[in-house]
Amino acid sequence: MTGDLVRRAQRAAARSLRSAIAGIALAALAGCTPQAALLASVIPDGTVSVLLSHLESMEQGNLKRVAELESRKDWDGLARFADENLAKDTHNADWWFVAGYAHSQAGRHARAIQCYGEVVRLVPDDMLSWSQLAQAYRDARQPLRAVHTLNQAHLVRKGTPLTYFMLGESYSDLDRYLPAAAAYREAVQLRTAFPRAWFGLGRAYSRLNRSADFERALASLHRLDPGLAKELAEMRPAPR
pLDDT digits (tens, 9 = 90+) for 118-147: 999 999 999 999 999 999 999 999 999 999
Q: How many CA atoms lie within 13 A of 123 on its CB side?
A: 17
CB neighbours (10 Å) of residue 45? 5
Average pLDDT over residues 35-48: 40
Position 228 pLDDT exceeds 70: yes
The structure's pTM equals: 0.81
Q: Which CATH number fits domain 159-240: 1.10.645.10, 1.10.3720.10, 3.40.50.510, 1.25.40.10?
A: 1.25.40.10
- pLDDT beyond 70 at 35: no
Contact 51, 64 (CB under 8 A): no
Rounded distance between C-alpha atoms, residue 39 and residue 63, angstroms: 8
Closest CA to 220 of 238, 195, 203: 195
pLDDT for residue 48 is more than 70: no
Distances (CA, A) of 164 to 14, 147, 178, 211, 240: 16, 10, 14, 23, 30
Name the 3-class secondary structure at 65. Answer: helix
pLDDT digits (tens, 9 = 90+) for 182-205: 999 999 999 999 999 999 999 999
What distance, in Å, lies between the first and last C-alpha atoms of the chain? 30
Q: 44 vs 27, 33, 39, 47, CA distance in Å?
A: 16, 19, 10, 6
